[in-house]
Structure 1
Amino acid sequence: MSWKLSGFGDEIDVEPVVQVTVLKALGANHIEVRSAWGTNIVDLSATQLNGLARVFDERGVQVSAIASPIGKVDVTLPVEHEVERLGRAIAAAHRLGTPYIRIFSFFRGEGVSVSSIRDEVLLRMRALADLAEREDITLLHENEKDIYGDTPERVLDIIESVGSPNLVAAWDSANFVQVGVEHPFDQGYALLRPYLRYLQVKDALTATSGVVPAGEGDGQVRETLAALLADGYEGFVSLEPHLADTNSLGGFSGPAEFGRAARALLRLTDELGVQTV
């Protein structure tokens, strides 16, 4: 069994050449693109996208997914706001040769109940899925902290209620821990496995919410990997370590800490007998 190793390049450095160099040194032949040269993927110009594609082509790296910020905004913004931004993310995905775009399911204001935004969330997610269907793109919903879909039950609600083959789940163990899901594998894996198409790898501690390398926290990462292996999963495992800094739009690790996170993941995959390519 082999899985495709990837990682968020901007967790390593702002320069794409450095991103790719470190990923290749760690054995990865794919990159997940969130930003380049300090600019978010949805804000890169056509010229910048062409330059980014050249960097990847020249170094033999393929793009696993576009790590867009779509849906990481307040749910009160007009539907068209994120549909337009998704259009830009889709243009980047087409140019960089990936069918996958990561998205989120919207923040809410302070004091606003999560149940009260459900209809507005589903309206927006349906609009995003409609565009993805037209463009032959697969949207990966990440269970980010404090969005509507931050628990296994609400992720399932979104995917089944929208009912689009172009909207599936990306799994992040650390984010589940940080919103109070004490045992992510036990509580969420069986629910979401039918829709799980992509794995983002980091771990977290229940006591502090601090992010740690895979297998060093309470996210049941090893159990999740073992179950995916048993299920015949053959997709991406993408490192998003967040070991030096975390903010509302992402995080940063630097080359050394990114390498530590990669080695922790590879220890687990080696123990399980999974080859990463």
Structure 2
Amino acid sequence: MPSVNAVSDTAVWTLSGFGDEISPDPAIQLAVLEALGARHLEVRSAWGVNVADFDDERTDALASLLSGAGFGVSAIASPIGKVDVSSPVEHEVERLRAVIRVAHRLESHYVRVFSFYRREGAPAESIRDDVLARLRALADLAEAEDIVLLHENEKEIYGDVPSRVLDLVESVGSDHFRLAWDNANYVQCGVKPFSEGWAPLAPYVDYLQVKDAVAATGEVVPAGEGDGELLETVTALRDAGYDGFVSLEPHLAEGFSLGGFSGPGAFGTAARALARLLDRIGVRTV
């Protein structure tokens, strides 16, 4: 798990990336990530199948590929909580149980989750209690299984702006419910990520997910080329002694409800943009 200690002379973060943004084929995912200097993969889908739908055979096949390539898994990028809040609590708990089996097999401590959609026109406040009941149930399972859930600030879910993200993490109140930070998603919600959200949320951030966006259009761009205040964010992380994962999710070709795609070339563009940004502040990746 990432720790926040005294600042060292050289900050070292662990590079990872959403492999399915490169190719549906995990062998290609690993080859491209290795060429970019990464030794970790964030698993969202493989062979065109979402991680929530993996069976034992598929999970074992991916584990074998990872072991053979000398790769670890930074996080399981699950779709848990990326459904309407009217879905029964048990529905997502059982889906999380299946995802956690995959996480254990792939030796990942982190599982990414979301905080539910609502019907069109419904105010966010109207679903708060239902969201919290569901997240508390998910956190209970994570605690029992010694897994840390990482809430992503996805647009249009309950926790899409800093005030509601803070409400969630404080109200759930579990060491097994933490935050994945995504600057681009905040930009697409009309938020200045660092200026408006970093100070209250920083104590709960365990994981950095990297993409940037242009405020005027919502277009996703490489790190440092948009309005996501990424330089300020990574500088603050460095100064806090962060030594965790930095995971590329470029979305440079397309984005859709359960993910996005970039292709090998654009993924490389995103990786080089991140490297330039981190080089400016003296952080290297492994």
1:130 aligns with 2:133: no
Q: 1:42 deviation in Å? A: 1.1
SS at match of 1:234: coil
Equivalent in the alignment of 2:159: 149
Aligned pairs for 1:214-229 (under 5 A) are: 214-229=223-238
* Selected match of 1:270 from 269, 273, 279: 279
Q: 1:242 deviation in Å? A: 0.3
Equivalent in the alignment of 1:40: 50
Measured against aligned partners, the alpha-carbon deviations of 1:236-262 in whole angstroms (never above 9, x if no partner) come to 000000000110111000000000000
Equivalent in the alignment of 2:19: 9
The CA distance in 1 between the partners of 2:200 and 2:23, in whole Å, is: 36
What percent of counterpart residues are identical?
64
* Selected match of 2:99 from 79, 89, 92: 89
Give the counterpart letter for 2:275 in structure 1.
L
1:205 aligns with 2:214: yes
1:110 aligns with 2:120: yes
The CA distance in 1 between the partners of 2:205 and 2:159, in whole Å, is: 14
SS at match of 1:147: coil
The CA distance in 1 between the partners of 2:167 and 2:75, in whole Å, is: 23
The CA distance in 2 between the partners of 1:72 and 1:88, in whole Å, is: 16
SS at match of 1:171: strand
TM-score, normalised with respect to structure 2: 0.96
Q: 1:222 deviation in Å? A: 0.8
The CA distance in 2 between the partners of 1:191 and 1:252, in whole Å, is: 32
The CA distance in 1 between the partners of 2:67 and 2:236, in whole Å, is: 34
Measured against aligned partners, the alpha-carbon deviations of 1:30-77 in whole angstroms (never above 9, x if no partner) come to 000000000000101101100000100000110000000000000000
The CA distance in 1 between the partners of 2:42 and 2:91, in whole Å, is: 24
Equivalent in the alignment of 1:167: 177
The CA distance in 1 between the partners of 2:281 and 2:37, in whole Å, is: 17
* Selected match of 1:99 from 88, 109, 113: 109
Q: 1:275 deviation in Å? A: 1.1
RMSD over equivalenced CA pairs, Å: 0.4
The CA distance in 1 between the partners of 2:117 and 2:179, in whole Å, is: 18
The CA distance in 1 between the partners of 2:72 and 2:242, in whole Å, is: 20
The CA distance in 2 between the partners of 1:142 and 1:255, in whole Å, is: 24
The CA distance in 2 between the partners of 1:37 and 1:44, in whole Å, is: 10
The CA distance in 1 between the partners of 2:221 and 2:165, in whole Å, is: 24
Equivalent in the alignment of 2:63: 53
The CA distance in 1 between the partners of 2:224 and 2:183, in whole Å, is: 10
SS at match of 2:280: helix
Give the counterpart letter for 1:37 in structure 2.
W
Q: 1:271 deviation in Å? A: 1.3
Equivalent in the alignment of 1:72: 82
* Selected match of 1:158 from 160, 168, 179: 168
The CA distance in 1 between the partners of 2:38 and 2:278, in whole Å, is: 14
Equivalenced residue count is 276
Q: Which runs of 4+ in 1 moved over 3 A?
A: none
* Selected match of 2:258 from 231, 240, 249: 249
Which sections of structure 2, spanning at least 5 residues, go unmatched?
1-10
Give the counterpart letter for 2:91 in structure 1.
H
The CA distance in 1 between the partners of 2:121 and 2:206, in whole Å, is: 33
Give the counterpart letter for 2:248 in structure 1.
L
Give the counterpart letter for 1:68 in structure 2.
S
The CA distance in 2 between the partners of 1:248 and 1:56, in whole Å, is: 27
The CA distance in 1 between the partners of 2:268 and 2:119, in whole Å, is: 37
Q: 1:11 deviation in Å? A: 0.2
The CA distance in 2 between the partners of 1:100 and 1:228, in whole Å, is: 19
1:237 aligns with 2:243: no
SS at match of 2:159: coil
TM-score, normalised with respect to structure 1: 0.99
The CA distance in 1 between the partners of 2:137 and 2:263, in whole Å, is: 36
The CA distance in 1 between the partners of 2:122 and 2:228, in whole Å, is: 28
Give the counterpart letter for 1:173 in structure 2.
N
